[in-house]
Chain A
């Protein structure tokens, strides 16, 4: 696999059971679908081990948004909570 940034070869490494690709040129890292969530899960388990907190339940990986899914200033998880918010109906009907 070629690095999309500098076009050098990318090599596969295993980090705590998660496969990641790293570029031999610019050292950039490529993550497959779900791998970021797997790393986040590992991190929270590690933090829980360090500080004795209960780890939060691991969320299933959300589909990554399409590149044009929203503006740069859009909410981080837009649309996930829509209809249940107080005031939703009123806002949709007011000038």
Chain B
């Protein structure tokens, strides 16, 4: 008995130590970037064009570019993703087609982001002649984001109790009326959470935009969806690896802005989920 208690204590201590080895660096990274980058943040840094080979000035075109790409990604991925989730949760039968769709989604989720970049280059930039553009980049990121949105939205739809559907049907509701008036409103918070998490991932991605939209240095704002644009993740890559003599302060400042941009979406998603979980009646 005594030995087993000691064994348990030792095991738990070892496990806790290794777990801390994983968890502490998360704090360390966040804290370090904030500490090193906060000094670079100023109104000018956020709202002006980069100057002098990006060694001075601000991030405006990269911030705007990332905003536009996130928006574009949402416009592509949300309607298709939510539609596909509705299909899977409400319409699809237990048949070969449904299995094929599920396998396809699993694979979409597993395709490396750089391969999405290749695909975007091959289809949108070259074949469809969109050029390296916001349009091509948004489409590429949108497709990459689809599986995240489909899976989370389907989960949210399935969580709505079956009884609501039965009641609505029994009151003369058609399938679509039931979905639109009962199921969707109830699943909406979960769907929105999933959308935000999907867009969060898209906003932070670099590899898919390398050959489809990102500009190395373009100190003006895009005027059409066929323009190239700078983007925060690619900009961070560029200034930390491709530009010699880049002030370290600006590098950390850029990393901080990107991190805040992305993680604030994460926090938003968590808050929405908490808020509605409390309100939910089922």
Binding partners A and B: no
**Chain B interface (Cβ < 8 Å from any Cβ of A):** none
**Chain A interface (Cβ < 8 Å from any Cβ of B):** none
